């Protein structure tokens, strides 16, 4: 019996992940310094060249930032699709499968196509490594990015919406010349790589601005905006700082939950407006913009779930109108993200003794500051199956002095959630947060499907 698409996908994924600095993630050697990162950009450009420069056949929207990148990409993609345009998007991180990183018309690439494109890109990488020794070995992020470009070109996508991984200036994706650059909300994150001030981080993010290409920016602290504005002026790039949604859209429903999504949706609208200025063939009607905002979907970003048996849990489009148990899944992992998460829930929800926050973190996060900002009353510390995960006992220690009740129980994500759901009585609310790795394991434990709900956009 021959290999199935799933078998071929697993083989391709294993070969890609073997090129990663962490086997359960796709992180390259981010701490190796600017010289190594610059070499990585040369490698990525050379690999794309070997695959026929697929980026040249795409109109690119390039999205950098600290918070809201994935959501903004999802909004832009959904708006363009609702407007009748074929669109590819690349986001990170994935939750369960590498196929989630490459979507075409809001559907993940199928495993067989992923494997077939991976085979070709890996062959090209091997030849490049043999013939251009000075470039060094190609890593997982570089492979995946070039695969996405190839997939979008071969699917005849008109537009590619690309999420930056870390930073911008030296990020793997920064070989593209975008039609529009987008910078979402900035915060202190990855400080060992990007710098420990907003000025330094803004400088790295502004590295995606290209000469003569417009840039759309979320509201920022003045010190960050000053850096971005200077880079835009030096590049001759029109700068739009988004203050809020246009009047005609202010009462439209938004498919992604959380109060902070208004900023991301407003940013997406402004990016599409700029895109149409650059390319009039990409015009999108106002009704299509409303539809895209309504239908945008991204798992693990303030995802509201109705709990039940493993095969009965479902994602809800909004906070339930009736008083019913809910599970909130959100990959928040910075203090600012904790603020956004808290503000998106009903007042007092996190402070109720009937709400439990299941939390697990990567070892490089400021856990105490996160918990202080989130303000839960009860937590259950857990540890994702990840080499970067912080031990649950360390979370307990860091919660000391914050007045938080720490439950004892299983430290595995799925085991912890199942314990809470089977408790009598079960908590009225469960919030799962701290990292996307934790959220990914929670979605499996809840029996949630990996792909988007069956709500087809009418644009195609």
We report the CATH number of the domain holding residue 112 as: 3.40.1190.10
State the average pLDDT over residues 81-100. Answer: 92
What is the DSSP pairing of strand 326-329 with strand 429-433? parallel
Task: Specify whether 74 is located in the same domain as 146.
Answer: yes
Quote the tokens at residue 30. Answer: 């981010």
| CB of 114 closer than 8 Å to CB of 102 | yes
| CB of 54 closer than 8 Å to CB of 156 | no
Is the pLDDT confidence value at 33 over 80?
Answer: no
Q: Which pLDDT value is given to residue 48?
A: 98
Is 72 strand, coil or helix? helix
Is the pLDDT confidence value at 194 over 80?
Answer: no
Per-position b or e across 266-305, b if 16+ CB within 10 A of its CB: bbbbbbbbbbbeeeeebebeeebbbbbbbbbbbbbbbbbb
Task: Specify whether 52 is located in the same domain as 187.
Answer: yes
What is the DSSP pairing of strand 355-359 with strand 378-381? parallel
What is the DSSP pairing of strand 215-217 with strand 87-90? unpaired
Task: Specify whether 206 is located in the same domain as 311.
Answer: no
Q: Which pLDDT value is given to residue 314?
A: 67
110 Cβ neighbours under 8 A, 6+ residues apart: 5, 99
Q: Which pLDDT value is given to residue 310?
A: 44
Mean pLDDT of the chain: 88
228 Cβ neighbours under 8 A, 6+ residues apart: 183, 202, 205, 206, 209, 215, 217, 220, 239
Q: Which pLDDT value is given to residue 262?
A: 87
User: What percent of the chain has pLDDT above 70?
Assistant: 88
Q: Which pLDDT value is given to residue 460?
A: 40
CATH number of domain containing 398: 3.90.190.20
231 Cβ neighbours under 8 A, 6+ residues apart: 203, 206, 207, 209, 237
Q: Which pLDDT value is given to residue 312?
A: 56
From 244, 263, 295, give the residue that closes a domain: 295
Task: Specify whether 47 is located in the same domain as 66.
Answer: yes
Name the residue range of residue 330's domain: 303-445
Lowest mean pLDDT among 137-151, 280-294, 315-329: 315-329
Q: How many domains does the chain have?
A: 2
From 242, 267, 295, give the residue that closes a domain: 295
Q: Which pLDDT value is given to residue 30?
A: 53
Quote the tokens at residue 422. Answer: 């089977």
State the average pLDDT over residues 157-182. Answer: 94
> Would 459 be classed as within a structural domain?
no
Task: Specify whether 156 is located in the same domain as 206.
Answer: yes
Residue pLDDT, tens place only, 116-129:
999 999 999 999 99
Q: Which pLDDT value is given to residue 320?
A: 66
Q: Which pLDDT value is given to residue 313?
A: 63
From 250, 271, 295, give the residue that closes a domain: 295
How far apart CA 172 and CA 37 sit, in angstroms, is: 8
Give the residue with greater pLDDT, 313 vs 420. 420
Is the pLDDT confidence value at 34 over 90?
Answer: no
Task: Specify whether 190 is located in the same domain as 312.
Answer: no
Question: Burial, 18: exposed, middle or buried (Cβ in 10 Å; 0-12, 13-18, 19+)?
Answer: exposed
State the average pLDDT over residues 31-54. Answer: 87
Residue pLDDT, tens place only, 395-435:
999 998 899 999 999 999 999 999 999 988 889 999 999 99
> Would 440 be classed as within a structural domain?
yes
pTM score = 0.86
């Amino acid at each position: 019996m021959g290999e199935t698409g799933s078998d071929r996908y697993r083989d391709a994924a294993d070969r890609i992940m073997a090129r990663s600095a962490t086997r359960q993630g796709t992180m390259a050697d981010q701490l190796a310094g600017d010289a190594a990162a610059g070499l990585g950009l040369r490698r990525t450009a050379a690999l794309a060249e070997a695959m026929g420069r697929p980026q040249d056949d795409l109109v690119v929207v390039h999205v950098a930032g600290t918070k809201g990148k994935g959501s903004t990409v999802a909004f832009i993609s959904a708006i363009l699709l609702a407007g009748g345009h074929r669109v590819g998007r690349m986001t990170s991180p994935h939750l369960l499968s590498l196929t989630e990183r490459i979507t075409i018309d809001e559907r993940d690439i199928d495993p067989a196509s992923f494997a077939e494109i991976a085979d070709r890109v890996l062959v090209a990488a091997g030849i490049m490594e043999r013939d251009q020794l000075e470039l060094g070995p190609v890593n997982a992020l570089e492979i995946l990015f070039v695969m996405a470009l190839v997939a979008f070109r071969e699917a005849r996508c008109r537009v590619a919406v690309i999420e930056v991984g870390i930073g911008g200036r030296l990020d793997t994706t920064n070989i593209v010349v975008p039609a529009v650059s987008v910078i979402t909300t900035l915060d202190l994150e990855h400080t060992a790589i990007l710098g420990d001030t907003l000025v330094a981080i803004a400088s790295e993010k502004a590295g995606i601005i290209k000469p003569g290409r417009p840039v759309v920016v979320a509201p920022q602290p003045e010190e960050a905006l000053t850096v971005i504005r200077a880079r835009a002026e030096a590049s001759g790039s029109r700068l739009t700082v988004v203050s809020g949604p246009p009047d005609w859209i202010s009462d439209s429903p938004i498919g992604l939950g959380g109060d902070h999504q208004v900023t991301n949706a407003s940013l997406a609208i402004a990016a599409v407006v700029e895109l149409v200025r650059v390319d009039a063939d990409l015009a999108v009607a106002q009704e299509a913009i409303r539809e895209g905002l309504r239908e945008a979907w991204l798992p693990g970003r303030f995802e509201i779930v109705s709990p039940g048996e493993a095969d009965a849990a479902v994602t809800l489009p909004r906070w339930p109108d009736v008083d019913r148990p809910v599970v909130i899944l959100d990959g928040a992992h910075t203090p600012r993200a904790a603020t956004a998460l808290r503000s998106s829930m009903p007042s007092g929800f996190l402070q109720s003794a009937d709400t439990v926050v299941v939390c697990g973190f990567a070892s490089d996060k400021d856990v105490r500051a996160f918990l202080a900002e989130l303000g839960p009353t009860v937590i259950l510390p857990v540890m994702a199956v990840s080499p970067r995960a912080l031990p649950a006992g360390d979370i307990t220690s860091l919660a000391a002095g914050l007045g938080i009740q720490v439950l004892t129980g299983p430290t595995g994500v799925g085991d912890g959630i199942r314990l809470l759901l089977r408790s009598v009585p079960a908590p009225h609310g469960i919030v799962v947060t701290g990292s996307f790795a934790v959220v990914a394991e929670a979605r499996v434990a809840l029996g949630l499907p990996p792909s988007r709900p069956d709500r087809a956009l009418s644009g195609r």
